[in-house]
Amino acid sequence: MTQVYLDNAATTALRPEVVERMTKVLNENYGNASSTHSFGRSSKALLEQCRKSIASYFNVSASEIVFTSGGTEADNLALRSAVRDLGVTEIITSKIEHHAVLHTAEQLQKEYGITITYVNLEKDGSINKSHLESLLTNSNKKQLVSLMHVNNEIGNVLDLERVAQLVKSNNALFHSDMVQSVGHFKVDLKEIPVDFMAASAHKFHGPKGVGFCFIRKESGLKPLIFGGEQERGYRAGTESTHNIVGMDEALKIAYTNLKEEKAYISELKAYFIQEIKTHLPNSSFNGCCGHSENSTYTLVNVCLPIAPSKAPMLQFQLDLKGIACSRGSACQSGSSQQSHVLTEVLDEDKLKQPSVRFSFSKFNTKAELDYVVNVLKEFVNS
């Protein structure tokens, strides 16, 4: 059976070079990085080399990179400590953030009685910057703004620099979930005043179960997990050396080949959009993903012209044909509920039709996309 993997926004395949480097570390550098003997020192040296390397891609200090189990933990670390330790009493966010942010904010509201304020969205899901500015200027509360750089479902790209400057000028803190952008976009955190950011290795062809949190120097953030003094006291627990090394290797390859791979994947996306328009002309593209402006080059979210009665069978049919994709984020794909993102950006009629997210990588081909379009056309016209 033909198999096509177009769910790279959920997770990506490990690059062969990453597997090779991780295997070497698993075999040779198995010492605990907190141990003082030679085996431990060897692992510790690797960790610090990776920390310095990762920090260099964002133009920040190595001491500002804290290794975590992934993006969700990094989001929790930033948001929970900001409320618990930095005196934040209002979180400004949007209703189309990842649940790692939305559910954390909701829990903090229950625990600490903070205010959650949602910034208005434009029709395409973009942030209404005028409304954000009014929320920042018309409050006397200690505020933290949490807005993702690239939306994981519809691909909208936040004007990170403009928003960060706006937040900074109003003396608020800024957190950004960059899980979908790290490894795919270059971000200079020395120039852009982001206080906290989250990243996850498995979104850029690295291993699962590892990520990092950027914490601006002297922010006052305190640990979420207590125990040992690992990660400069920010995150207790023995570091997963092989995973961290794999993440470093994946990020190094991603940024070394960024120009070439971005051009290739962008071409795939443009080709796929054109083929959908040609063969399924009544389709529409959700958010900004139907064009290159204000959208990531890595995914499209398409609303297909399928009757509501047939819609429940679409995902099953695609899977039957060996096509991996998603109707929303992988974190909620097993749920019967509609995507919270699409609920905010689509009207009632469009919500009755199935929307599917296809996300691309350098390992995809035009031949695979032709196959997917043919399967979709066959299903729509049957």
Tallying the residues shown for the chain, one arrives at 382
- Using DSSP's 3-state secondary structure scheme, residue 159 falls into coil
Take residue 259 and report the two structure tokens written for it.
């120009």
Dist CA 253 CA 245 (whole Å): 12
326, amino acid identity:
S
Burial class (CB in 10 A: 0-12, 13-18, 19+), 229: exposed
Whether 67 and 230 have beta carbons less than 8 Å apart is answered as: no
Give the DSSP H/E element, type plus range, for residue 359: strand 355-359
Alpha-helical regions (H) of 288-356: 314-320, 340-345, 348-352
Q: Please compute Rg for the chain using Cα positions.
A: 21
Q: Tokens 């994709």 identify what position?
A: 325
Annotated catalytic residues are: 331
176, amino acid identity:
S
Dist CA 270 CA 291 (whole Å): 8
Whether 70 and 199 have beta carbons less than 8 Å apart is answered as: no
Residue from 223, 227, 329, 244 nearest 69 by CA: 244
DSSP states of 37-72: SHHHHHHHHHHHHHHHHHHHHTT--GGGEEEESSHH
